[in-house]
Structure 1
Amino acid sequence: MDLTVVTYVIYLLISIALTVWVARTLSRNGRVFIGDVLHGNEKLADAVNQLLVVGFYLVNIGFVTLYLRSTDEIDSARALFEALSVKLGVVLLVLGVMHLGNVWALNRMRRRGIMERQQTPPVPPQGWTAPVGA
């Protein structure tokens, strides 16, 4: 079998496994943030969490498949490992950026929710006072 094809298969297996692992980690731990932002509405938190996971999968697996093609000639085990290290390194960086972006967005949503809950409503009218000096 051609070593380029072997490189592609290994790259896809590792990249998709990493994407699934990061998505599950974000889903499991991000649900707490989303639940807090949505004031305990569990059904809505689950729905939003699922939508975020689907978007994460689409973006990352789309990137992995677009980045699959290699113009390097892979004719030895050394070339295979070098190609894999470059491709997987880029995928890991993209996953890291996506992860940090999700954490930043969830934290921003959570902070906004906390600030909204801390706002005190205005004081209701206490009575009517006649104008002075009329």
Structure 2
Amino acid sequence: MNTIAYAIYLAITYLITVKVGWRFYRNGRVFILGLLEQNHTLADAINNILLVGYYLVNLGYATVMISTWDTIHNWTEMLVSITAMTGQILLSLGILHCFNMLVIYIISKRNHSIQPLKL
């Protein structure tokens, strides 16, 4: 029964992670371009690195979480386990996103507060 639960959980987690990651990748480019003063090459490189890191962290975390599961004996326990673990992944995605947005906000405030010297 655990094998079925693992397969369902990993499929759900994979779909959510890839869908959210692609959305961050596509829409986050605008923020990175703003921080890097429209340097498209550097922004794209950083955006690609962030996407790969995002995938590795979330899919790795999802895989490690499987080791914390108890033995599943019936369909109800399987449903409870899958929803609890999926909820933990979603919560971690939300926290990671809020942290990243905070970092972007802090960097953008710091960049806008620094005024060049006029001679």
TM-score of the aligned structures, taking structure 1 as reference length: 0.81
- Segments of 4+ moved more than 4 angstroms: none
Aligned CA distance change for structure 1 residues 38 and 71 (closer, same or farther; 3 Å): closer
2-side partners of 1:104 and 1:31: how far apart? 16
Corresponding residue of 2:13: 15
Determine the structure 1 residue equivalent to 2:56.
58
Aligned match for 2:22, one of 24, 41, 56: 24
How far apart, CA to CA, are the structure 2 residues paired with 1:24 and 1:104? Answer: 20
1:36 maps to which residue? 34
Shift of 1:113: 2.4
User: What's the % identity of the aligned pairs?
Assistant: 35
The count of residues paired between Structure 1 and Structure 2 equals: 119
Superposed CA deviations along residues 26-85 of structure 1, whole A, max 9, x for unmatched, are 111211111011111111110011111111111111111111124423121111101111
Q: Which runs of 5+ in 1 are unaligned?
A: 125-134
CA-CA distance at 1:24 after TM superposition: 1.2
Q: Which residue of 2 aligns with 1:48?
A: 46
Match of 2:100 in 1: 102
CA contact (8 A) 1:30 1:106 kept: no
Which is higher, the Rg of structure 1 or of structure 2?
1
Which residue pairs with 1:74 in the alignment?
A: 72
2:66 alignment partner, SS class? coil
Deviation of 1:25 after TM superposition, in Å, equals 1.6
If each structure's helix is expressed as a fraction of its own residues, which one has the higher value? 2
The CA RMSD over aligned residues, in Å, is 1.5
List gaps (5 residues or longer) in structure 2. Answer: none
Q: What amino acid is aligned across from residue 121 of structure 1 in structure 2?
A: L
The answer to which of 69-78 and 83-92 deviates more is 69-78
Q: What one-letter code is carried by the residue in structure 2 that aligns with 1:104?
A: L
Paired residue for 2:84? 86
The farther-off stretch of 64-73 and 28-37 is 64-73
